[in-house]
Chains A and B, each alone.
Chain A
C-alpha cells in the first residue's frame, strides 16, 4: 500500500513537536519560569526565540507549553471520543427512547458554542487547573463525536455479518465494540484528528481568556495572550508562539487528510 505524502509529512512535523515537548521534561535551554534575561530581548544567540515580558526564555516556554497544550488536547480528544463512541453506539443500537433522549441532550449541548460550555464548566469547577480544563473541554466535545458515531454505527448495524452475529447469540457489548467499532474507524480517526486540532485551539482560547492554565506555568494559549499586549514591542513573541500552534494543527490536519486518502485508495 502506497503511503500518502501528506500522512508522512504530517507525522514528521508532529513528531518534531512531540519531540520538543518530550525533551522539555528533561531539558530546556533555560528554566521556563525563571527570569533568565532582560525584558523583551530580541531573538539572538543567547535566547534563540528572544525573551518575554518577564525576561523568560521564549523557546523554553514554548517547549514546556507545547507539552501542556498537547497533553490537554490529547486527553480531551480521547475522553471526548470514548464518550462519543459510547453514546453513538447506544443510540444507534437501541434506537427509540434511548436514541431520542440521548440525542436531544446532545442537541441541547450543541446549541451552545463549545467554548461557552467549557467556559461555564471551568468557572464552576475552578479555574487554573489543567484537570478541570480537560474535563470541561471533553464534555463540550462529546456531541460532535456522538453525532458522527451514531451515523457510522447505524450504517454498520444493517450489515449482514452483524445480523449473523446476533443470530449466533453474541452479547450486545461484544457486537458493538468488537464487531462494529473496528468498522467505524474510517469515520472515527479523521474526526479525532479534527477534534484534536479543535482541542489545541480550545485550550489556547481558554488560557487566552485567562481561565485555562494558571501562570507562571506555560501553555501556548497563555503565552499568546501575553504576547498580544506587546505586539508592537516584541512581535517575535506572538510569531513564535502562534507558529508553534499553527505547526501542530497543520501537522495533525495533514495526518487526518492522509488517513482519509489511504482509506479511499486502499
Chain B
C-alpha cells in the first residue's frame, strides 16, 4: 500500500515539474532584460531616488522635453516651445495620450510642474514664479533667467487625477507599465498610442538578477536576452551568441583627494600623484582597454563641454613625481585610500593605484568600507585622505558636474578652493548666452586640471550584451536604459 502511494506521489511530482516546462505562447514573446536591483523604491517619477529605478522608468515617463543619445533636448509632451527671456511657452503635442487612454491636457502639465516645485522635487523649479495652462499651451515664467532651465523640463508629466502612481505608474512614454512581482520581475508593454516611433519589441520583461554569476549563467542558458553594466571579465566569459556594445557609464572616476588635509593641501603633492598614476595602464590592465580616460570632471558624452587635451595634461612620469614630492618635503609619503567595497571596479582600480604609487616611492593602503559608511564618513563627514569613486551628472548640464567644486557648495566634499573657479562659476551661472557659458565651464575644467584637484582616471565603460540578431542599443549622456530602439534584425 505504502509503495503504491509513494509511486503515485512521485508521479504527481513529475507532472508538477513537467508542467513547468511547457511554455505558453504569451511567454515566448517576451524579450528579457536583466536588471541588477528590484524597483522597490516608489515608482512615482517625482519621488523616486534610486538610480536603478529611474534608469528603466525612462521608458515609461516623458517630460515636456526629452534627451536624445547625442545629448540634445527635443520636444516630447510638447510639440514646440519658445523662449522669451524668462517666459517659456509650450504648445502641447496634438493627440498625445496617457497610458490609460486619457488625452494629456494643459492642466496635467501645470499639475506636474507645480507638484515638483511645491514638493521641492526639482530644486531648479523654485525659480518658477508662475505656471499657466490655457487650451493647448502652457506658459512657465521664471523669477530669474536661467540658461540651462530646459534641462530640468525632462521632469515627468503625469495625470493630475490618478492616485496609484507609486505602484502602477502611468506616463506618456513608449512603454507602459504592466505589472511588478517583488524580487522577480517587472513587465512592460509597448504603448499603442505612443506619439513617436512605436517600439519594435512589444513585450519586455525586466528580470531582477542581483548576483553577477547567476546573471552570466542566465545569459548563457538563454533565460536572459540582454544585460547592461557588465564587466570586461564577464564579457570574456560570455562567448559567442552575444553582441557586445560599448558605451560609457557617464561618470567621472577619480582618486578624489581631500584638498584641505595635509599633505594634499599642497599642489605639488597632488601633481606628483597625477604624474605617478598611469590611467592608461589602469584601463588596459583592469578593464581590458574598455573605458575612456579623463583629465577633468567632465566626460566625453558631454561633447560640447569635454576638453580632450586635458586627458594627458599630466603625462605619467615617475621621476617627476619623485622630484615634486622631494621639493614639497614629502618623501616616504604614505596615506590611505578609502574605497566602497561593494564597487568592484573601484576596488580593482585602487589595487592598481597602490602598485603604481609604489614605483614612485609612495606607500598607499586600501581601506575598504561599506557604502553607508562611505556616504556618512567620507562624503558627508569629509573624514578621509583619498577615495576612489565615480560621480555622475543628475541632469544633462555641465553645471551638475562642476558646481560641486565651488568652495561654498555643500557637495564639495574634497574641499576644493580656488578663487578663480568660484569667479568662473558665478559668471557661468549668471550667463544667458550658451556659447559664453560653455567657455566658462571649459575654463573651470582647466582650473581643476591645472590645480590637480583630483587624480582623474576614466569614464568607466558600460558594456551591454545583447543576443545576436537584436540591434538598436542606444547610449545617453545620463544614466538611462532606452529599450524603445531595440529591434530584431531582418524582421
Interface residues of A (CB under 8 A from B): 33-35, 39, 53-55, 123, 126-128, 210-211, 214-216, 228-233
Besides the known contacts A127-B368, A210-B341, A211-B341, 6 further A-B residue pairs in the complex with CB atoms under 8 A apart: A126-B367, A210-B342, A216-B351, A229-B231, A232-B216, A232-B237
5 pairs of A and B residues whose beta carbons are closest in the complex: A232-B237, A210-B341, A128-B368, A216-B351, A214-B366
Q: How far is the CA of A35 from the CA of B351 in the complex (A)?
A: 11
B340-365 interface code vs A (CB 8 A; 1 in, 0 out): 01101001101110110010000001
Q: Which residue of B lies closest to A129 (CB)?
A: B367
B367 touching A214 by the CB < 8 A rule? yes
What residues of B have a CB within 8 angstroms of the CB of A215 in the complex? Answer: 347, 350-351, 366, 368
Least CB distance from A217 to B in Å reads 9
* Cβ 8 A contact of A128, one of B216, B342, B351, B366: B366
B233 touching A211 by the CB < 8 A rule? no
Least CB distance from A237 to B in Å reads 12
Q: How far is the CA of A166 from the CA of B300 in the complex (A)?
A: 83
Interface size class of B (residues with CB under 8 A): 20 to 34
Q: How far is the CA of A51 from the CA of B341 in the complex (A)?
A: 23
Cβ of B131 within 8 Å of any chain A Cβ, yes or no, is no
B355 touching A34 by the CB < 8 A rule? yes
Least CB distance from A30 to B in Å reads 13
Cβ of B101 within 8 Å of any chain A Cβ, yes or no, is no
Most buried by A among B216, B285, B351, B369: B351
B368 touching A229 by the CB < 8 A rule? no
Q: Which residue of A lies closest to B284 (CB)?
A: A39
Interface of chain B, main secondary structure: helix
Least CB distance from B371 to A in Å reads 11
Asked whether A228 and B213 contact (CB < 8 A) given A55-B285, A127-B341, A216-B354, the answer is yes
Cβ of B267 within 8 Å of any chain A Cβ, yes or no, is no
Q: How far is the CA of A261 from the CA of B355 in the complex (A)?
A: 49
* Cβ 8 A contact of B368, one of A35, A39, A210, A232: A210
A229 touching B233 by the CB < 8 A rule? yes
A229 touching B370 by the CB < 8 A rule? no
B285 touching A230 by the CB < 8 A rule? no
Q: How far is the CA of A228 from the CA of B214 in the complex (A)?
A: 12
Q: How far is the CA of A154 from the CA of B342 in the complex (A)?
A: 47
Q: How far is the CA of A233 from the CA of B216 in the complex (A)?
A: 13
CB proximity to A under 8 Å, residues B89-125 = none
A54 touching B352 by the CB < 8 A rule? yes
Least CB distance from A154 to B in Å reads 43
B236 touching A233 by the CB < 8 A rule? yes
Q: How far is the CA of A216 from the CA of B354 in the complex (A)?
A: 8
Q: Which residue of B lies closest to A210 (CB)?
A: B341
What residues of B have a CB within 8 angstroms of the CB of A55 in the complex? Answer: 285
Q: Which residue of A lies closest to B220 (CB)?
A: A232
CB proximity to A under 8 Å, residues B192-248 = 212-213, 216, 231, 233-234, 236-237
A230 touching B355 by the CB < 8 A rule? no
A54 touching B351 by the CB < 8 A rule? yes
Least CB distance from A234 to B in Å reads 9
B371-415 interface code vs A (CB 8 A; 1 in, 0 out): 001000000000000000000000000000000000000000000
Asked whether A39 and B341 contact (CB < 8 A) given A53-B233, A216-B351, the answer is no
Most buried by A among B234, B286, B350, B355: B355
Asked whether A229 and B366 contact (CB < 8 A) given A34-B355, A53-B233, A54-B285, the answer is no
Q: How far is the CA of A210 from the CA of B342 in the complex (A)?
A: 8
Q: Which residue of A lies closest to B372 (CB)?
A: A123
